[in-house]
Structure 1
Amino acid sequence: MSDPLPPPRIHVALPGGARVTGRLLRWRQDRTGAWWAEVSLYVPAAAARQVDGEDYDGVPREPAAPTAAAYVMAADTRATPPTAEIHRVDCWMIADRAEWLRVTPLAEVEDVDPAALAAFPDTSLCGVCMTA
């Protein structure tokens, strides 16, 4: 059995004139007769703001592990200046972090010396995956 087709794409005009492409989930008519589009959008995490009082613990995370890299740099974007931590690609600590974490794949394993990267004053090695 094949996977169902994704919903059709639709262009959405945002306040300020920006346009993004989303997926049309359904049309819904309200009591006044006006039609509304239920749309799923992908936006950069920096453009999304959580609502106070909402529980986001159950929202699934789908991290994309780099295929050619053995290590990633996880930057804490809350700090000024940001601080960085070097992790192995499959480190569970990365998936456990909140929206303030920016993960960047590093070059192939032969090209990266994690200890050399940790020599920078704002960079450290993960205390979980890099201690083995």
Structure 2
Amino acid sequence: MERPRDQAIDTRPRAEVSLPDGQRLQAAVTRRRRDRAGVWWYDLEIEIPDRDDDRRHGPTLTSRMITFSAPHPVVQPLPGEDYSSLNPAPPHERRRWRIYDAPRTSPADYYIHRDDCAQCLGDRLLSDAEALQALADPETAVPCPVCRPDTILRTA
């Protein structure tokens, strides 16, 4: 079957999944993580055929994405697949803070925001170390008064 031109090729790594009835299938891995016991859990996605009912034209064939999660050994990595892109960066390298211009009434040049702060319009990300360095000089940057990143950064 030929892929439509506008549909992107899926570059996510794949894994083999054993279903409860013994069938095996391959699924795209969207995320993997270890639980406290050290077992890998995989978040997976498969596309299955589905029926779409249209009152005027009758049923048509479509597809639907199913997402699910399962542990190893139900999910087996496939040889040759690269899962390293799914691993999060080490905590000291994660960029989870944003920096954006402070209002004119502020004594500092910038506000430091949490990554999900609705007050921040900027897209420049900072690591913990970079955010702490910026906050060290109150004339350069201050914490956002809404999302209060300093409450978390104190423990970083």
TM (norm. structure 1) is 0.32
Larger Cα-atom Rg: 2
Q: Which has the higher strand share?
A: 2
TM (norm. structure 2) is 0.28
